[in-house]
């Protein structure tokens, strides 16, 4: 074969490759007579000077309109220049003039594929292979076309044929790995990406692809490393920046995920996926309004972005805007009917609106789409544990059997869901076993130190004494909110529901307003606020009170607002200083029942002490000691202790006592708290929508000796543990 003919054939092979722009800069020749114009065009073509090459080919065709090589090369240049619609008729004419030339059909397949005509492209590649059966590159191109048409199995078969003919083709290895990954064979994909990287160790595309495969197999740190390597080679690589951020999010490092996303959007401002992932990072950082803004940017670029609607809906729900939340989630499902996440969040929103049957239907739809959707199993168990014979129960059992392969946070949800099913079925020792497994998984993912908590509570008692409260008597802002505080699961939601059933009370739920105001005004450097108690001034206290009041929801004239953040019990001395007219309701419950209820709840955030029975008991003791301190220094009439068991025994008497403490006239609607349909976003939403019941009193006795670490910390003897 002459050097010129070899040059044309090699250029032709490159023209048929479609996955890399750099591979589309050479021409695809046929085999006809070679004259000066064709040679000049080919020289320009192989050098990447497409317009000059096209000029030569057109001049040749003016001399001979049936010159198959010139038609083919002109079509190849048009394809490589992004004008595939112009290329196809030119190459088709070349094929008609020289039907036995396989390279023409290969180039035609590439042009057809770029136009989305995958069926026609597959036909062209197969015709090329019929003429030249042992062409590794055409086998690869046929595989790419089949994959574009959704036939992964056939694509993989042709990739493997290509590799059998040319084992060291890194592009074929990479394409095979992508198809295996799409087919769900993550381990197989990693093997093939590894082979491709062995051939091209610094290829940023391969490094980036390997990172996505590693992340899919929960090998998060390795994924981060590969994406970082890709960016070390090509810093301005938007896709790698995006994937690095996704991996950092998976590693629970959302703060680090933000900069690469910002950089990706600087490089590619019309990148809806980057806006979406930036929204998820900001959502993880509780910057909810900023997250919504990012999702809206994604929707502006891609109005059909169902995932963005689903995320906006989920945030709106957490903000108490259930109506708009349902609208966004419903739209997400209109755009993408098989969106399991949207069904999940729609179920949660409907659940908070008392639409339990509709919520259950949504959860069932989510599980049909994704059997191992751990969060849905947990939410469904909170409404009604699925029974044997039901599809949801079968899905739960199958997911439980495979829980070892799930990330720890998802496996924990599954164990808690199954524990609730066992509890409702009366097998309490087995339920506790699964609560403990789930709690251990949750505990493995959080940093918690009892010694740190002990020091913090001691410093609080030392910093806020009676002298400090007396020194600033008369300071503070004039508002009169109602704070409901206490250990989580101590009856605080029930108490707030009773209060919120009064026409002059707005139940605002668990607000983060006080903590946010303290962090902004008193401790901007995120130091413990107790360190600054000695430096407080009347001006600071009044400003802090006003800042808190300004963040409360707008309510009707004359209404009082309840703030039911349980751990505000840490701030009771400060509350007295900044809001002297506020009233405090401290909810109490049997210590062991309180702690067991905490332990058997998988909280969405916070309460890190509750996933180890011993640490839970220690925290309760610290809380109990701090509350005794507050009682000793707060003025009489400021704080009311309300015992859950007393409310159960005498709902009207305790409700009247509660309303009187808050300075409100009695209203009988407070006794119908279970009919109040305001949205509730705590773990007790289902319980407070029933009339008062006693089944939770003494619940802890069901679990027997398994509670020994907790009982030991609380000082409960074995004899006291008997029912």
CB contact at 8 A, 513 and 560: no
CATH superfamily label, 450-714: P-loop containing nucleotide triphosphate hydrolases (3.40.50.300)
CB contact at 8 A, 563 and 511: yes
Q: Where are the domains of the chain?
A: 3-197+206-214, 450-714
Assess whether pLDDT exceeds 90 at residue 225: yes
Burial (0-12, 13-18, 19+ Cβ within 10 Å), 153: exposed
Assess whether pLDDT exceeds 50 at residue 522: yes
Owner of token pair 């209060």: 499
**The overall pTM is greater than 0.85:** no
Higher pLDDT, 530 or 607: 607
Domain 3-197+206-214 matches domain 450-714 at the CATH topology level:
no
* pLDDT class of 383 with cuts at 50, 70, 90: confident
Q: Please name the residue ranges forming H helices in 47-83.
A: 50-63, 68-80
Pick the range with the lowest mean pLDDT from 20-29, 196-205, 350-359, 536-545.
20-29
Question: Average of pLDDT values for 50-62?
Answer: 94
What is the structure's pLDDT at 658? 97
What is the structure's pLDDT at 678? 52
CA–CA separation, 40 vs 493, rounded Å?
83
Question: Average of pLDDT values for 38-63?
Answer: 93
What is the structure's pLDDT at 534? 77
CA–centroid distance for 11 within its chain: 46
659-702 pLDDT, tens digit per residue, is 999 999 999 999 887 765 555 555 544 454 445 555 677 789 89
What is the structure's pLDDT at 8? 44
232-291 pLDDT, tens digit per residue, is 999 999 999 999 999 999 998 999 999 999 999 999 999 999 999 999 999 988 899 999
Beta-strand runs (E) in 265-382: none
What is the structure's pLDDT at 30? 39
Question: Is 3-197+206-214 a domain of CATH 1.25.40.10?
Answer: yes
CA–CA separation, 392 vs 385, rounded Å?
9
CA–CA separation, 638 vs 626, rounded Å?
16
Q: Count how many residues are written for the chain.
A: 723
SS3 691: coil
632-647 pLDDT, tens digit per residue, is 999 999 999 999 999 9
SS3 of 424-480: the string is HCCCHHHHHHHHHHHHHHHHCCCCCCHHHHHHHHHHHHHHCCHHHHHHCCCCCCCCC
Across the chain, mean pLDDT equals 88
580-616 pLDDT, tens digit per residue, is 999 999 999 999 999 999 999 999 888 999 999 999 9
* pLDDT class of 525 with cuts at 50, 70, 90: low
CB contact at 8 A, 656 and 635: no
11: left (phi over 0), alpha (psi -120 to 50) or beta: alpha
Share of the chain above pLDDT 90, in %: 73
* pLDDT class of 9 with cuts at 50, 70, 90: very low
CA–CA separation, 200 vs 230, rounded Å?
12
């Amino acid at each position: 074969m002459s050097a010129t003919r070899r040059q044309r054939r090699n250029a032709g092979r490159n023209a048929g490759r479609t996955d890399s722009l750099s591979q589309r800069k050479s021409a695809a020749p046929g085999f006809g007579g070679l004259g000066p114009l064709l040679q000049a065009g080919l020289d320009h073509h192989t050098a990447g000077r497409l317009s000059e090459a096209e000029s030569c080919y057109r001049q040749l065709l003016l001399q001979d309109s049936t010159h198959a090589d010139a038609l083919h090369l002109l079509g190849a240049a048009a394809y490589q220049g992004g004008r595939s619609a112009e290329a196809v008729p030119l190459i088709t004419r070349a094929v008609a003039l020289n039907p036995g030339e396989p390279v023409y059909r290969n180039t035609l397949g590439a042009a057809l594929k770029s136009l989305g005509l995958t069926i026609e492209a597959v036909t062209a590649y197969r015709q090329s292979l019929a003429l030249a059966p042992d062409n590794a590159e055409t086998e690869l191109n046929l595989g790419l076309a089949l994959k574009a048409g959704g036939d992964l199995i056939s694509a993989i078969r042709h990739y493997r044929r290509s590799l059998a003919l040319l084992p060291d083709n890194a592009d074929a290895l990479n394409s095979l790995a992508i198809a295996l990954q799409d087919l769900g064979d993550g381990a197989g994909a990693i093997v093939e990406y590894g082979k491709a990287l062995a051939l091209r160790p610094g290829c940023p595309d391969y490094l980036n692809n390997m990172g996505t495969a590693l992340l899919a197999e929960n090998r998060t740190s390795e994924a981060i490393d590969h994406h970082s390597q890709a960016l070390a080679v090509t810093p301005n690589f938007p896709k790698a920046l995006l994937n690095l951020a996704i991996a950092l999010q998976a590693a629970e490092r959302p703060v680090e995920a933000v900069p690469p996303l910002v950089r990706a959007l600087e490089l590619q401002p019309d990148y809806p996926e980057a806006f979406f992932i930036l929204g998820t990072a900001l959502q993880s950082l509780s910057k909810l309004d900023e997250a919504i803004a990012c999702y809206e940017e994604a929707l502006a670029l891609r109005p059909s972005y169902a995932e963005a609607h689903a995320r906006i809906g989920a945030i709106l729900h957490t903000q108490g805007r259930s109506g708009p939340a349902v609208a966004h989630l419903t739209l997400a499902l209109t755009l993408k009917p098989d969106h399991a996440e949207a069904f999940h969040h729609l179920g949660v929103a409907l659940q908070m609106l008392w639409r339990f049957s509709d919520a259950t239907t949504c959860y069932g739809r989510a599980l049909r789409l994704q059997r191992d959707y751990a969060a849905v199993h947990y939410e469904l168990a909170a409404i009604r544990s699925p029974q044997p014979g039901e599809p949801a129960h079968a899905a739960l059992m199958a997911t439980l059997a495979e829980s070892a392969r799930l990330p720890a946070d998802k496996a924990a949800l599954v164990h808690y869901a199954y524990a609730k099913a066992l509890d409702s079925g009366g097998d309490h020792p087995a339920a506790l076993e699964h609560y403990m497994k789930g709690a251990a998984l949750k505990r493995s993912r959080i940093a918690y130190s009892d010694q740190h908590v002990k020091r913090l509570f001691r410093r609080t008692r030392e910093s806020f004494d009676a002298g400090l409260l007396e020194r600033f008597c008369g300071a503070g802002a004039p508002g009169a909110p109602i704070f409901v505080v206490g250990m989580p699961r101590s009856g605080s939601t029930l108490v707030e529901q009773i209060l919120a059933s009064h026409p002059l009370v707005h139940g605002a739920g668990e607000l983060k307003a006080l903590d946010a105001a303290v962090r902004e005004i008193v401790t901007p450097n995120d130091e413990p606020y107790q360190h600054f108690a000695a430096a407080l001034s009347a001006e600071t206290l009044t400003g802090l009170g006003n800042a808190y009041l300004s963040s409360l929801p707008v309510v009707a004239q004359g209404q009082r607002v309840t703030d039911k953040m349980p751990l505000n019990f840490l701030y009771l001395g400060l509350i007295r200083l900044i809001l002297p007219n506020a009233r405090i309701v401290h909810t109490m419950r049997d210590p062991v029942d309180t702690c067991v209820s905490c332990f058997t709840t998988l909280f969405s955030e916070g309460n890190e002490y509750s996933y180890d029975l011993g640490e839970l008991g220690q925290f309760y003791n610290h809380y109990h000691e701090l509350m005794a301190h507050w009682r000793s220094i707060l003025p009489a009439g400021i704080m009311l202790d309300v015992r859950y068991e007393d409310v159960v025994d005498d709902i009207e008497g305790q409700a009247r006592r509660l309303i009187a403490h808050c300075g409100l006239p009695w209203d009988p609607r407070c006794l119908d708290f279970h009919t109040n349909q305001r949205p509730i976003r705590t773990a007790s939403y289902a319980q407070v929508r029933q009339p008062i019941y006693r089944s939770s009193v003494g619940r802890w006795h069901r679990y027997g000796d398994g509670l020994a670490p907790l009982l030991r910390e609380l000082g409960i003897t074995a004899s006291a543990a008997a029912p």
